[in-house]
Structure 1
Amino acid sequence: MKQNDLFMDSSILYRSTQKFFDKKLQPFQLTYAQLPVLIMVYENEGISMQEIASQGLYDKGTITKNVQKLETLHYLHVVSSNKDKRSKELYTTRKAKEIMSHVYEIRRDWWKQLNAEMTKADIEQFSQYFMHVCEKSKKLMEFSQESVKFYKHQKVNLNMFPNHISTVFYTGGCNFQCKHCPNPDLVFIKQNMVEIPMEYIKSFLTKRKKNIQAICISGGEPCIHDNLSSFLSYGKQLGYKMCIRTNGSYPYTLIDWIEEGLLDYVILDIKQSNTCYSDIIGMEDYDVSNINQTINYLQTSHFPFSYQLALSKEFHNEKRIMEIGKWLQSDVEMRLSSIDLDQEEFNKLSTILKQYLPNLKIQGDIL
């Protein structure tokens, strides 16, 4: 029996299907690439781009491009969600509804031609097998064991996500080298440091859905890991709220995750006054423009977030605290903790900071 080449067979099937549909869809100015998006919207009016990306394993750029093209052709219109203004809902237009019967007929015609010489039993067997393979490949792509590595796990946390029972996973690696980092072992990853098995993480999250409401990601610096998005998506699919604790130096990554609907809360870890950030993070002449961009986005978008600041004798005094207060001045929650200050000094500095950040909460420990 001839051994088939799954890779080549899949390629042939994809290219043949694409050519068939591109030709048949020409009268409607559509292409095969746009068709799955159009069908998903037609069958799920009000679906979001994030939901389409999740169901079809599309990246953000591909979805955006196809939606924009379908909107230009007047097959779709996009509206802001009443539930979440950051999310966009997609709806088909009357023009789209008028052609969908033709679209379904084209799809049915292709399927009939593919199985013309197959028995009913063969078709049923092939359909079941193909569905199984697709589901398997989707799960592998949605959340592979290589997508992200965690090195610590706090099973229960009551502080990070407001009014939620959370579980916290810690990534490794950080672009800062803060002298008083609470997790220095996650900054300088030793070669023998063992990551948490993904099987354990999946099992834990699946079993604890009734008891835990949120997943928080800390580090290290989570935003240095672009591929963390697959884990964020996985957590959302399980029904968890998702939170990131970040130093704010990767605004584009953070903003992408927010706008893709992958995050529900952000903790922004402030280190020092914006005039002397370099003193504490181990980097000379550090430019805080990226952190400013993160702050500006979070404040202007009204995305739920809080500041966090840990005070130390070495780096924080009345002048620095006043500069921090003027820099961040707002009603945003500030979570304040002490590394090594005595109670009197801590009270004095917290009183100064509260003049600028009145929503100040004292925390006993650094998160």
Structure 2
Amino acid sequence: MVKKPIYSITPFTLLDYPNHTACILWFAGCNMRCGYCYNPEIVNGKGKVGFDEVLVFLRKRKNLLDGVVFSGGECTMHRDLPWYASEVKRLGMKVKIDTNGSRPHVLENLIDEGLVDYVALDFKALPEDFESITKSDLFVPFKESLEVLMGLNVPFEVRTTVHSELINAEKVLKMAAYLHELGYKGKYFLQHFVGDKETIRKLPPSKKPKTETTAYAGLEMVWRN
């Protein structure tokens, strides 16, 4: 068991788990290196907080928090994630997973075991841009994760961080079309990059692309900022 999987804890958020009060556990390490990533210290760093410390923290906040967000980094890389999730559920709290979709089998097992209540899946890019943006060859696992989520009964969302230097308006619309072709129905959340923190790669300022509303039945594009 990794003794200290957590880089840090955000003790309270109203923004990261829809309609719930929550805290965020930032898991150390990631298998992607997206240039616009806001968390280089988490991606490249090591854990500082053990899960025993997390449980002490959560027990003190049982009446304040509805849920716990497992984020990072990439939380599904951690072998003991099912145990972590089960301990949170034992406290009567919900579990939200933020993931890049690179470990579909982990995601599927967590859902099958009833250990996840909500998933936020990051759609980094289309196949032709995926490697240049993420510095990984993990598009196929991402697609498998999307298909897993569409086939199972767990609430989830798909979201994309948009930096105009990497993903322009045309590519955003192509990404929406890709989701539609796969049969995704729901909201497709777009998050415009805001360059107020250190990132993995030094990038120029981003201009929010102007995108038209898609005409796909059952799929709605929504800017979060």
Do they fold alike, i.e. is TM over 0.5? Answer: yes
Say which of 39, 44, 56 aligns to 1:203. Answer: 56
Opposite residue 34 of structure 2, the aligned amino acid is: C
1:324 aligned residue (175, 187, 191): 175
More strand as a share of residues: 2
Residues 223 and 279 from structure 1, CA distance in 2 versus in 1: closer, same or farther, beyond 3 angstroms? same
Distance 2:117 2:220 in 1: 20
Larger radius of gyration: 1
Q: For 2:36 and 2:17, locate their aligned partners in 1 and report how far apart those are by CA, in whole Å.
A: 23
8 Å contact kept, 2:4–2:49: no
2:165 matches 1:314: yes
Q: Which segments of 5 or more consecutive residues in structure 1 lack a partner in the other structure?
A: 1-143
Q: Using the aligned pairs only, state the percent identity.
A: 27
Aligned-partner residue type, residue 331 of structure 1: K
Aligned-partner Cα distance in 2 for 1:271–1:184: 17
> How many residues align structurally?
210
Give the TM-score, by structure 2 length. Answer: 0.85
> Matches of 2:174 and 2:3 in 1, distance apart?
40
Q: Contact 1:274 / 1:324 at 8 angstroms: preserved in 2? A: no
Q: Distance in 1 between matches of 2:146 and 2:52?
A: 36
Structure 1 residue 197 displacement after superposition? 4.6
1:275 partner SS: helix
More helix by share: 1
Residue pair 1:148, 1:228 contacting (<8 A) in 2 also? no
Equivalent runs, 1:16-31 vs 2, <5 Å? none
Which one of 190, 206, 223 corresponds to residue 341 of structure 1?
206
CA distance in 1, matches of 2:135, 2:13: 29
What whole-Å deviation, never above 9, does each CA across 1:15-38 have from its counterpart, x for those lacking one? xxxxxxxxxxxxxxxxxxxxxxxx
1:246–1:333 CA distance, 2 compared to 1 (3 A): same
For 1:250, the equivalent position in structure 2 comes to: 103
Deviations 1:154-175 (A, max 9, x none): 1112222221111100111111
List structure 1 segments (4+ residues) > 4 angstroms apart after TM superposition.
none
Please show how residues 144-293 of structure 1 align to structure 2 within 5 Å: 146=2, 149-189=5-45, 195-283=48-136, 286=137, 288-293=139-144
Cα 1:239–1:148 change in 2 (3 A) is farther
| Cα separation, 1, equivalents of 2:144 and 2:178 | 13
CA distance in 1, matches of 2:138, 2:124: 13
Greater shift in the superposed pair: 146-155 or 157-166: 146-155
Which is further off, 330-339 or 234-243?
330-339
Q: Residue type of the partner of 1:310?
A: T
The secondary structure found in structure 2 opposite 1:256 is helix
TM-score, normalized by length of structure 1? 0.54
**1:289: Cα distance to partner?**
1.7
Q: Distance in 2 between matches of 1:275 and 1:186?
A: 27
Cα distance in 2, alignment partners of residues 232 and 287 from structure 1: 24
Q: Following TM superposition, by how much is the alpha carbon of 1:288 offset from its aligned partner in structure 2, in angstroms? A: 1.9
1:361–1:320 Cα change, 3 Å: closer
Q: Which residue of 2 aligns with 1:297?
A: 148
Distance 1:291 1:198, change over 3 A: closer
- 1:169-203 CA deviation, whole Å, 9 max, x = no partner? 011111101101111111112xxx56125454222
Distance 1:147 1:235, change over 3 A: farther
Read off the aligned partner of 1:156 and give its amino acid letter. Answer: F
Question: Structure 1 residues 287, 269: closer, same or farther in 2, change over 3 A?
Answer: closer
Shift of the 160–327 alpha-carbon distance from structure 1 to 2, 3 Å rule, reads same
Could you tell me which runs of 5 or more consecutive residues in structure 2 were left unpaired when the two chains were aligned.
194-204
Q: Kindly provide the CA deviation profile for residues 56-87 of structure 1, in whole angstroms up to 9, marking residues without a partner as x.
A: xxxxxxxxxxxxxxxxxxxxxxxxxxxxxxxx
CA 1:262 to 1:341, structure 2 compared with 1: closer, same or farther past 3 Å? same
Shift of 1:148: 5.3
Q: One-letter code of the match for 1:341?
A: S
1:91-150 CA distance string (max 9 Å, x none): xxxxxxxxxxxxxxxxxxxxxxxxxxxxxxxxxxxxxxxxxxxxxxxxxxxxx7x45510
Q: CA shift at 1:361, angstroms?
A: 3.2
